[in-house]
Structure 1
């Protein structure tokens, strides 16, 4: 249990173990194994720290948007939300996570679906969601909750990577891995909509810019400038007086917006550095696993790996998903639906960004906008359907509900209701 809850549940250790085992299987020198393992873990931590900090930098926008729409509810702390969720379902989540990952490896070893999902934080939160659905929606014994939950998780980890894999051939920077992330169904839908309604030849990332704006081709600069503009616009709508008194700590909106835009650029630069470090070692190391342990296996990795090569899609996808979620919120309000949710900006940003990337890969500009818009609708309506089904896991899903949680969660909940009356 110590190994599961303290070692295997730490994503950095998990990817480090993959590098260690893969290089050991190739009989590399011990010094090379140690060096590559450490660089993989440091690179992974750069990616996750950059991604988490980038997401947290959006929290002032959440408060401003709630003020604009007259929703004065306090923005929940991620730490407190995660703490509440794990207090209710933490032990079951840890066991489902461990045995679910084992099921994923066994499926990859003995079937044609050769994919190993390595985004451990995604797996762990999904394990908690499955535990919540099974405990709240059934009268199963704790042992059966863990057995059934592990099988569900193992199948999800395998097959979400499997249906993402064919989409990677169209995505720049997607060579050598598939996506293992809880935005997979949004990416699949977005790629499908892009193919039907878009034009692949009009790539969002290749829009012609005037020579005076060519500097925006650089990822760090483009995202810093665009995020600064977003902060300025929303600050003006929320009113400068409100922002200065309640959000910015007394800073005027220009200073406040510039600082937040630059911080956003900082974190994407951290992610870019981490991507280069991790990919230099984990992909070659994974060849050892695919040769010796799980033949022809492919790793499922996290979505920030794609952000550096798709800066325009990242911003367009975030904004499109956000607009869709706000429209969905208004529809739920007009229908007087009993559960009203406000878009959580961290999952809206990450899932919106990656669904735009896949929409763009099959349908260019229109594909990116339409696909990420559909993602925003899935997020808001799926979350509203999901929350009544999960008891004490609700706080976590209010702040971290990504597309797969919002899509598959209600389906699992409805199936359980049918089976258990």
Structure 2
């Protein structure tokens, strides 16, 4: 456990070092010279750190709005955010007298189970390894609470075994669902998405495909706006203008006195330029994030060939959803955020109007990273209409689903829930089934997860493994069919 704790604390939950380690191991297995292996490790690690600077800046930039909306409207509510969710579970476990070490053990067993499922892909049909360590920690904590809620009578060993099977299957099956759509988006970059909205990406990609076939499937990057609107064809310009409108409207409602009182801005600062700087920083951090993606994805793609050829044949790494932002339309990220926010805010208003016992406060991570990612994939499959419709629906699901499950399992009293799409839709469904049907429900959930990759394989036997082994040949066959 000491070795595992050290690995989790310093490598697995520090994704920059975990990605760097994978690149290093991959290059060693490819028998690259030591200096090329070292250079690959550095580029991958630094690239991911650049991504983290961008994503962290986006979160901190949005904080005054989140805090302000909660304080000014006196909302005592559940914040949907992975870190609030993890803190809520930690507080709840302390009150129950359970050690967070159990979550670490769950993470270990579930991760090993994911590796085993990939190693025996001939039978399991699993092609992806979930490698997003900080996300695994958040999910392990929330899954621990939800499954314990369903089976409170079980001892530590039995409950950890059940949790590990369900969570390990979810990681493997969920990331496996994103293999084809990720390869098609990136042109065979050799990774898939392992995050909080894997089932959501698959579902909305299918929905987008139908939207694209019914009407115009023109993508955002193909839309050429006329006249003065042509300035929106440039991602940096469109992001800056749209965010100035979005941030400006909310910050004007909050007012300068409140922002000064809370320490978000200096009393002598000009309010207009504070709004402008806050808005333009959004474009700055987004550009930084995309630079980080371009820096580490190439190294990861090349080096993972060593791991897939020697250790896990035919496998691809499942990585952070932000890696998708370096591909497809750059405007899709902004569009997804805005329409997802619209869906979330309308759902929150509905909860307040209906006097729901659990009120949700929007967290930046679900409203941005969920919905921006969904929009990128939806735009690739179904065009600009899908890029607007999909994140709007997702925003509604995130709020209504989180309000339901947080109230049901008692996490609302601790003020946080993970709240991203899979955990607002898929996991609440699992929880209801297991709670009401007990072991029969558990068997149904496990069977559901086991059968998904089998169905995927039987529907596309010719190209199922080819999509990761030889993307060029896969593309030729798909085009021909």
Same fold (TM over 0.5): yes
1:153-206 deviation digits (Å, cap 9, x = unpaired): 211111111111222254256732111111122222322222223445321233
1:19-72 deviation digits (Å, cap 9, x = unpaired): 12211211222222222112212211221232122122112222344467x344
Q: SS state of the match for residue 300, structure 1?
A: strand
CA distance in 2, matches of 1:297, 1:78: 27
Aligned pair partner of 1:278 in 291, 296, 300:
296
CA distance in 2, matches of 1:44, 1:134: 32
CA distance in 1, matches of 2:83, 2:358: 23
Q: More deviation in 159-168 or 384-393? A: 384-393
Q: SS state of the match for residue 100, structure 2?
A: helix
Residues 179 and 193 of structure 2 are in contact (CA less than 8 Å); yes or no, is this contact kept in structure 1?
yes
Aligned pair partner of 2:193 in 179, 193, 215:
179
2:47 paired with 1:43: yes
Q: Could you state the TM-score of these two structures normalised by the residue count of structure 2?
A: 0.79
2:278 paired with 1:260: yes
Go from structure 1 to structure 2 and tell me whether the alpha carbon gap of 1:341 and 1:221 turns closer, same or farther (over 3 Å shift).
Answer: same
Shift in Å, 1:283 = 0.8
> What's 2:465 paired with?
none
Q: SS state of the match for residue 300, structure 2?
A: helix
Go from structure 1 to structure 2 and tell me whether the alpha carbon gap of 1:396 and 1:221 turns closer, same or farther (over 3 Å shift).
Answer: farther
> What's 1:234 paired with?
250
> What's 2:57 paired with?
53
Shift in Å, 1:244 = 5.4
CA distance in 2, matches of 1:132, 1:201: 42
2:209 paired with 1:190: no
> What's 2:374 paired with?
355
Residues 182 and 404 of structure 1 are in contact (CA less than 8 Å); yes or no, is this contact kept in structure 2?
yes
Q: How does 1:193-208 map to 2 (within 5 A)?
A: 193-198=207-212, 199=215, 201-208=217-224
Q: More deviation in 77-86 or 2-11? A: 77-86
> What's 2:325 paired with?
307
Go from structure 1 to structure 2 and tell me whether the alpha carbon gap of 1:92 and 1:66 turns closer, same or farther (over 3 Å shift).
Answer: same
Shift in Å, 1:10 = 2.6
CA distance in 2, matches of 1:52, 1:275: 14
Q: More deviation in 287-296 or 219-228? A: 219-228
Residues 89 and 142 of structure 2 are in contact (CA less than 8 Å); yes or no, is this contact kept in structure 1?
no
> What's 1:154 paired with?
168
Q: More deviation in 231-240 or 18-27? A: 231-240
Shift in Å, 1:292 = 0.7
> What's 1:224 paired with?
240
Go from structure 1 to structure 2 and tell me whether the alpha carbon gap of 1:397 and 1:244 turns closer, same or farther (over 3 Å shift).
Answer: closer
> What's 2:148 paired with?
135
Cα RMSD of the aligned pairs, angstroms, is 2.8
Go from structure 1 to structure 2 and tell me whether the alpha carbon gap of 1:137 and 1:302 turns closer, same or farther (over 3 Å shift).
Answer: same
CA distance in 1, matches of 2:276, 2:113: 47
CA distance in 2, matches of 1:325, 1:224: 22
CA distance in 1, matches of 2:306, 2:249: 50
Shift in Å, 1:394 = 6.6
Q: SS state of the match for residue 287, structure 1?
A: helix
Aligned residue pairs, count = 419
Q: More deviation in 348-357 or 89-98? A: 89-98
Q: How does 1:344-383 map to 2 (within 5 A)?
A: 344-383=363-402
Unaligned runs of 5+ in 2: 94-98, 440-481
Shift in Å, 1:100 = 1.1
Whichever of the two has the greater Rg, that structure is 2
> What's 1:248 paired with?
265
> What's 2:443 paired with?
none
2:187 paired with 1:168: no
CA distance in 1, matches of 2:149, 2:22: 35
Q: More deviation in 322-331 or 373-382? A: 322-331
Q: Could you state the TM-score of these two structures normalised by the residue count of structure 1?
A: 0.89
Q: SS state of the match for residue 318, structure 2?
A: strand
1:186-228 deviation digits (Å, cap 9, x = unpaired): 2223222222234453212332134766565554444334322
> What's 1:110 paired with?
120
> What's 1:406 paired with?
424
CA distance in 2, matches of 1:340, 1:83: 18
